[in-house]
């Protein structure tokens, strides 16, 4: 398949979206947690409008369950059944694909019935059972598995999860950079490493080119372990996104909330829809200037 895009996002509402070198920038964005259908739709509508005006494809993102909260008493979301129902309705209302993350192998089949991209959380990126379940659920539907790079892994080590997906029957994959943790309460983005990740050679086991790389502009601003709650520098998300676009990444990931300080999760790193729209507009201009 020499002419096949490295990654193709199925779109139940229109043409499929190719992702990779030579294809337009993709935007994956939405609230961290799906706190309500109405809030998700509000944020998604603003971000979809920004992407439409910028000429970029859009995928709505939100989590139905935040299973990795710092505190066991923190709100986690609506749960699998109600959350997937809301995601499906939002996708239909906005006429766009949707994505969400899974934490357990048994969630994969249900999520694949709604989501065009199944997201693997960074801390779980090496979990063989989770990767296998995601691949086996995604492959029959042509869905994408998006693996977030663990904060503890080198870019080259992400070839491991890609190979596990292949062995389970899915080569329609994407990798997401979200920073590396060096132990001093801050994530660091290694742009040399991002370049290396964009060139990961999977030709030994796959007939597609390197898996496309998405850049997570908001989680990359986290300050882990900086207090009882994770801190952040969300005002730097636009700068990081711009640097990533110039570096040649294939997609951007942005979490947005109408009132970040009141968000159920990642309030210290989410940005308002207006700020996210400005980041999207700038990214489109930069990509256009690059030719």
**CATH number of the structural domain spanning residue 272:** 3.20.20.70
Domain assignment present for 1: no
Q: Report the number of distinct structural domains present in the chain.
A: 1
C-alpha span between 200 and 179 (Å, rounded): 18
Domain assignment present for 2: no
C-alpha span between 212 and 264 (Å, rounded): 30
Domain assignment present for 226: yes
Do the beta carbons of residue 215 and residue 29 sit within 8 Å?
no
Domain assignment present for 272: yes
For Cα atoms 173, 17, 93, give the angle at the middle one, nearest 5 degrees: 110
C-alpha span between 47 and 60 (Å, rounded): 8
Q: Which domain holds residue 50?
A: 7-290
pTM: 0.95
pLDDT per residue over 99-141, tens digit each?
A: 999 999 999 999 999 999 999 999 999 999 999 999 999 999 9
Rounded mean pLDDT for each run of 10 residues along the chain, 291 residues in total: 73 97 96 97 98 98 80 76 98 98 98 98 97 98 97 95 98 96 83 96 94 97 72 94 98 98 92 98 96 78
C-alpha span between 266 and 219 (Å, rounded): 8
Name residue, tokens 């989590």: 63
Domain assignment present for 198: yes
- The burial class, CB within 10 Å (0-12 / 13-18 / 19+), for 140 is exposed
């Amino acid at each position: 398949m020499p002419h096949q895009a490295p990654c193709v996002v199925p779109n139940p509402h229109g043409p499929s979206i190719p992702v990779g070198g030579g294809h337009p920038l993709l935007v994956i964005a939405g609230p961290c947690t799906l706190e309500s259908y109405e809030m998700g739709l509000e944020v998604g509508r603003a971000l979809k409008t920004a992407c439409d005006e910028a000429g970029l494809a859009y995928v709505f993102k939100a989590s139905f369950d935040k299973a990795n909260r710092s505190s066991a008493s923190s709100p986690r979301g609506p749960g699998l059944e109600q959350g997937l129902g809301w995601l499906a309705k939002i996708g239909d209302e906005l006429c766009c694909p949707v994505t969400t993350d899974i934490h357990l192998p048994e969630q994969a089949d249900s999520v694949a019935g709604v989501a065009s991209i199944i997201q693997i959380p960074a801390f779980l990126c090496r979990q063989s059972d989770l990767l296998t379940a995601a691949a086996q659920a995604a492959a029959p539907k042509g869905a994408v598995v998006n693996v977030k790079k663990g904060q503890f892994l080198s870019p080259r080590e992400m070839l491991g999860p890609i190979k596990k997906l292949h062995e389970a029957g899915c080569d329609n994959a994407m990798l997401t950079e979200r920073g590396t943790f060096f132990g001093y309460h801050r994530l660091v983005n290694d742009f040399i490493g991002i370049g290396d990740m964009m060139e990961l050679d999977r030709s030994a086991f796959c007939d597609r080119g390197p898996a496309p790389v998405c850049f997570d502009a908001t989680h990359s601003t986290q300050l882990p372990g900086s207090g009882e709650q994770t801190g952040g520098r969300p005002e730097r998300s636009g700068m990081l996104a711009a640097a990533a676009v110039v570096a040649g990444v294939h997609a951007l990931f942005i979490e947005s909330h109408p009132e970040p300080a009141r968000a159920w999760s990642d309030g210290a790193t989410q940005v308002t829809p207006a700020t996210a729209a400005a980041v999207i507009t700038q990214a489109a201009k930069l990509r256009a200037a690059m030719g």
